[in-house]
Amino acid sequence: MTVITFIQHDGSERMVDGDVGLSLMEAALKHDVPGIDADCGGGAICGTCHCFVEVSGDLPAPDSQETAMLGLRPDRADNSRLACQIVVSDGMADVTVRLPEFQM
In this predicted model, what pLDDT tens digit does every residue of 5-22 receive, in sequence order?
A: 999 999 999 999 999 999
Q: In 3D, which of 99, 86, 97 has the Cα closest to residue 21?
A: 86
pLDDT at 25: 97
Alpha helices by DSSP H, 6-94: 24-30, 64-70
Measure the CA–CA gap between 59 and 46, rounded to whole angstroms.
21
Q: Answer yes or no: are the C-beta atoms of 82 and 69 closer than 8 Å.
A: yes
Domains of the chain, each with CATH number or no CATH: 2-98 (3.10.20.30)
What whole-number percentage of the chain has pLDDT above 90? 89
In this predicted model, what pLDDT tens digit does every residue of 51-81 receive, in sequence order?
A: 999 988 888 899 999 999 999 999 999 999 9
Give the distance from CA 74 to its chain's centroid: 17
Phi and psi dihedrals of 90, rounded to 5? -55, 135
